[in-house]
Amino acid sequence: MTTLSVNINKIATLRNARGGNIPDVCKVALDCEKFGAEGITVHPRPDERHIRYQDVLDLKPILTTEFNIEGNPTREFVELVKKVKPAQVTLVPDAHDALTSNAGWDTKTHQDFLKEIVSGFQQAGIRVSIFVDTNPVNIEYAAKTGTDRVELYTEPYATNYPNDKAAAVAPFVQAAKLAKSLGLGINAGHDLSLDNLAYLHQNIPWIEEVSIGHALIADALYLGLEETIKRYKAALK
């Protein structure tokens, strides 16, 4: 079964735009769980422009599903994750001022650094996933770091899907097959939506987790959060 982890960063963005605590990030996370999400994802950045470090600390004791914290493994991020001890940490190489994650790791260049980070998290009992593109070299070197999983960066798939969905998904199928052959679990995320999610899953049914935020929260403005989560879960069946 492929699980759905809801990224709630956009809820925090909306809250922060006005100040105060509306919408309540913790309540929304609990509602996502209640409505059927199997996980909650957050991506705290150093400037705390959406999810704040305090949000991460507040969420950990109340969540009952898998908690996934993603981000660039700076010293502060590593300390936060080891303190919180989520089920999973996803390593993303984004710059501190990046609008959103827009690239996977060059795992060959950063192999030694990633190996040390991966080992440290695993020793703390945290499953590790590394954000990668479909380049086989990056997947092969991700495996050499000792990571448990890779998360396939799916923006290119989403961009090309409207024009030729078969061509769009093909490199992701090959990447997923390679990752599986190397003993890696496979996650996926970025720009997945109700338009393109089912086709990706049909072609790579062994994906273990998808992490979806922007499109899901946007859909919830029209459909409501409960109905939206129901539809995303249906796309994964």
CB contact at 8 A, 187 and 208: yes
Q: What are phi and psi of 145, to 5 degrees?
A: -75, -15
CA distance 111 to 145: 6
Within 49-195, residue ranges assigned H as helices are 53-59, 75-84, 111-123, 136-144, 155-160, 165-181
Residue 50 known to be catalytic: no
Which is catalytic among the residues 43, 66, 151, 201?
A: 43
Residue 43 known to be catalytic: yes
- The residue among 24, 70, 13, 33 whose CA lies nearest residue 233 is 33
Residue 204: both structure tokens together? 């790579």
Residue environment code for 169-199, b if the CB has 16+ CB neighbours within 10 A, otherwise e: bebbeebbebbeeeebbbbbbbbbbbebbeb
CB contact at 8 A, 121 and 84: no
Bridge partners, residue 147, by sequence: none
Classify residue 86 by burial, with Cβ atoms within 10 Å: 0-12, 13-18, 19+: buried
Residue 201 known to be catalytic: no
Which is catalytic among the residues 33, 50, 190, 201?
A: 190
Which is catalytic among the residues 33, 50, 66, 70?
A: 70
If phi over 0 gives left and psi between -120 and 50 gives alpha, with beta otherwise, what is residue 191?
left
Catalytically annotated residues? 43, 70, 190
